[in-house]
Amino acid sequence: MPYQLTRRSFLKGLAAGSALSALTAYGGLKMATPAAAVEAGYPEAGAGAKVFRNVCPRNCYDTCSMLSYVKDGVLRKVSGDPVNTFTNGRLCVKGYTYTRRVYSPDRLKYPMKQEPRGSGKWQRISWDEALEIIARKILAIKKEYGSTLPICLNKYSGNFDILHYGIEGMMSSIGYTTRALGTPCWPAGIDAQTYDFGTLWNNDPEDLVNSRYIILWGVNPAWTSIHSMRFIYAAREQGAKIVVIDPIVTATASKADLYLQIKPSTDGALALGMARHILDNGWVDGEYLKANAVGWEEFFAYLRREVTLDWASRITGIPARVIADLAREYATTKPAAIWIGYGMQRHTNGGQNVRAIDALAAITGNVGKSGGGALYGHLETWGFNYAAMTMPKPPGAVGVKKPDGTMSDRYININNFGADLLNTTDPPIKMLWIACRNPLSQDPEPQVVQKAFENMDLVVTVDHFLTRTAAWSDIVLPATTQFEEHGVNASYWHYWIGINEQAIEPYFEAKNDVQIAMLLAAKLNALEPGSCTYPTSGNLEEWVGKEFNPKILDLLGISDYSELKKGPRKAKLLTAAWSDGKFRTPSGKIEIKSSEAPKYGLPALPVYVPEKQASPEYPYRFLTPHSPYGIHSQFQNIDWMQNVNPEPYVEIHPATAAAKGIKDGDWVKVYNEIGYVTLKARITATTAPEILVAYEAWYKDLNYNLNYTVKAVPSDMGKKATGNRGLAFHDNFVNIEKVR
């Protein structure tokens, strides 16, 4: 045992002198004392730092409570905040890169002006100059068109901190403007749950531990909600079975007890087939339905009339006996939870499929139960004042006339932004303000969006980096990160709320959206008194205080928002959503037959709507889900992330690769009638023969944009609750060829 030293031999070695001990039979072993080793070069980054509370404001289920470690005014490291029992003191791969994001050499430092747009000829300007240009343009537009409607805001999920709604407030404070309305992410599912339950509201995800049976349906928490996996594992350790239904073998599917490779977009058929089998075998929870639901009789009639196991098997590609077993296990193992993913509703029948799953949960009595539920998301903790957003219009503001004679902003579809920008007239859109968003990267048909930019007189983008969108702007304004500002955040999944403390000074001249609004207000009013109603004073911490009302304070069990400095708090909501039986539908019950859906041209019952089919020219379905390395176009550009995930690739099934003569590592072109993307092939049987998979991201030095192939095809739902239908991102069909 030449390298195992006992204390005695160590002392002996010392006695013999260090030079000699280096030559002993112990192979030159030295014992290091900790102090000596620190000198040897392993200083802990967070040593001696002051700790602040933050929340990761990115568009993510987990919305992590964070701690930031600051020494000499520099952010030294970050960690999870252990107070939050959901995120449990841990961050994801993205969260741990924050020091590199804050101090990235690519980060925007100053306001900049580009002439001409897209030329790359950037010139540093002062904030005053930038605001002067913007304010004069706003006033000129108002003069020329008689309103501020030619000014359009596109802001969404790049930062979900509540104070960042200040940018909407700024727009309101100058008059009626045009707004990109809707959400690209999850509206079909939101509407589905709105039709069924009155709104979306999931059980506390920490309650998943109480499940005996968990179906993860089109969701990949191993990569997109890592903290949820702990509760799923905990349930399994107590005997729960974990089932994953997904077209591809995701990292989550790899952990499942049972994985079902379903044909994409056919989830509704599976749910209905299960429902029929449950109905036939008398496993329906009739008492629950009688007390809590309406329309189930018609639903059962539909099942008996139109649905069989064989039919479901044919549509979904899953053997009938497997569907029968799944139905039996789900219906007879109580409580059973279904987590409905956002991926599975990004189809032309996505909302309808979610409704079928909701119905499945309802007829088995799993809604409103701890350990049960049809979990999708919630907005129950989002009842803030939106004080930064809610601004009066200046006197004389002109907007779109509504039938009742009042005026409103003008809305265009965020999910068909390019085309709507081009098609909107009277007045046309001439100025764009883009915040917390990167449409040239993340929108479908970015080619069209870029074309629409050409019609603009002025494009202003607020961001951390020179994104694709920022690169096609006239003016970019540097934004602060959550470490440089105060704020408050809630999650659309877990029940926690936390505040952001300003931990460091803003990076160079970066500013928060509310600060920008206040400065622009001052500039506008200096040029034309009374032209803007946004307040021009107040520090950000005061603005945070304005967001709290008695209801939300009560929900958190505090009397003042500042108590959140001691740590994030969990809202005192019902652990099991809907366990009070107070559904928010017009009937006050679960509406398996929806009274609202027909008003939007949709079936009242969760009947099956056939999935979109591939064409002979474009026979492959191109799925473009999230990777663990980024949220949409954020994080992949950070150097640490580039190091871990240096290049994009497309996953191809071995059979498809063989048919196309493609080998692992070959360069391939994925294309359809609107565009293409060129990337490396990765051969893997985790996908299906007719499915290609590539992960959305913005690689700052590559012309890599999956959305070049994505058409703005709407999903079926979203109009009711979010203003516009969602995007059928996953009904994208392509062909593929080897290029070299």
Partner 1 sequence: MAKQLGFLVDTEKCIGCFSCEMACKNEYQTEVKPRWRRVYQLREASLPYPERNFISLACHHCADPACLKVCPVGAYSKREDGIVLHDHARCIGCRLCTMACPYGAPQYNEKERRVEKCNLCYQKIDRNEEPACVAACPVGALQLIRDLNSFPEPSTVKELPGFPDITITRPSIRFVPPRAGVQMRRDV
Partner 2 sequence: MTNWEWPLVFFTILAQMAVGYLVMVVPGAAGKANPKWTYLLPAGLLATAMVISLGHLGHPENAYRALTHLASSWLSREVLLFSLCFLLLLVAFLAAKGGNQAQERLAAVLALASGLLGVLASALIYVLPARPAWYNFHTVLAFFLTAFLLGPALGMCFEQVLPGLTPWQEGRVAGRALALLLLLSIISSLSYLTFLAAAGPEARLTLTTLLASPWWWLRVLAGWLAPLAVSYQLRRQEGGSLSLSLALLVLLLVGELIGRALFYGTAVPLAIG
Binding residues for partner 2, per CB under 8 A? 22-28
Binds partner 1 by CB under 8 A, chosen from 11, 45, 291, 658: 45
User: Judged by CB under 8 A, does residue 193 bind partner 1?
Assistant: no
**Pick from 108, 96, 84: which is nearest to 489 by CA?**
84
The values of phi and psi at residue 93, to 5°, are -60, -35
Nearest residue (CB) to partner 1, 75 versus 679: 75
> Cβ-count burial of 331 within 10 angstroms (0-12 exposed, 13-18 middle, 19+ buried)?
buried
Residues 112, 117, 120, 124, Cα dihedral to 10° = -20
Binds partner 1 by CB under 8 A, chosen from 99, 193, 203, 722: 99
Query: How many amino acids of this chain bind partner 1 (CB under 8 A)?
Result: 82
The values of phi and psi at residue 184, to 5°, are -75, -15
* Residues counted in the chain: 740
CB within 8 A of 476, min separation 6: which ones? 108, 111, 112, 114, 122, 460, 461, 462, 463, 466, 470
Binds partner 1 by CB under 8 A, chosen from 14, 16, 20, 31: 31
Partner whose binding site includes residue 119, from partner 2, partner 1, none (CB under 5 to 8 Å by kind)? none
d(CA 283, CA 651): 40
d(CA 501, CA 483): 7
Nearest residue (CB) to partner 2, 21 versus 724: 21
Q: Which residues inside 634-663 make contact with partner 1, applying CB under 8 A?
A: 639-640, 642-644, 653, 655
Binds partner 1 by CB under 8 A, chosen from 40, 120, 287, 395: 40
d(CA 450, CA 455): 10
Nearest residue (CB) to partner 2, 15 versus 25: 25
Partner whose binding site includes residue 164, from partner 2, partner 1, none (CB under 5 to 8 Å by kind)? none
HEC states along 207-239? HHHHCCEEEEECCCHHHHCCCHHHHHHHHHHCC
Min CB(498)–partner 1 separation in Å: 18
Residue span 67-96 as binding mask against partner 1, x where in contact by CB under 8 A, dash where not:
---------xxxxx-------xxxxxxxxx
Nearest residue (CB) to partner 1, 28 versus 529: 28
Residue span 263-302 as binding mask against partner 1, x where in contact by CB under 8 A, dash where not:
x---------------------------------------
**Which range binds partner 1 by CB under 8 A, 6-14, 197-205, 410-418, 719-727?**
6-14
Binds partner 1 by CB under 8 A, chosen from 110, 122, 145, 233: 233
**Which range binds partner 1 by CB under 8 A, 111-119, 163-171, 246-254, 592-600?**
246-254
**Pick from 216, 318, 251, 159: which is nearest to 625 by CA?**
251
Residue span 673-692 as binding mask against partner 1, x where in contact by CB under 8 A, dash where not:
-----------xxx-xx---
User: Judged by CB under 8 A, does residue 30 bind partner 1?
Assistant: yes
**Pick from 714, 720, 614, 718: which is nearest to 348 by CA?**
714
User: Judged by CB under 8 A, does residue 619 bind partner 1?
Assistant: no
Min CB(119)–partner 1 separation in Å: 30
d(CA 502, CA 510): 13
Min CB(6)–partner 1 separation in Å: 6
**Pick from 281, 159, 297: which is nearest to 605 by CA?**
297
Binds partner 1 by CB under 8 A, chosen from 123, 126, 254, 562: 254
The values of phi and psi at residue 80, to 5°, are -75, 155
Nearest residue (CB) to partner 2, 27 versus 82: 27
d(CA 336, CA 216): 11
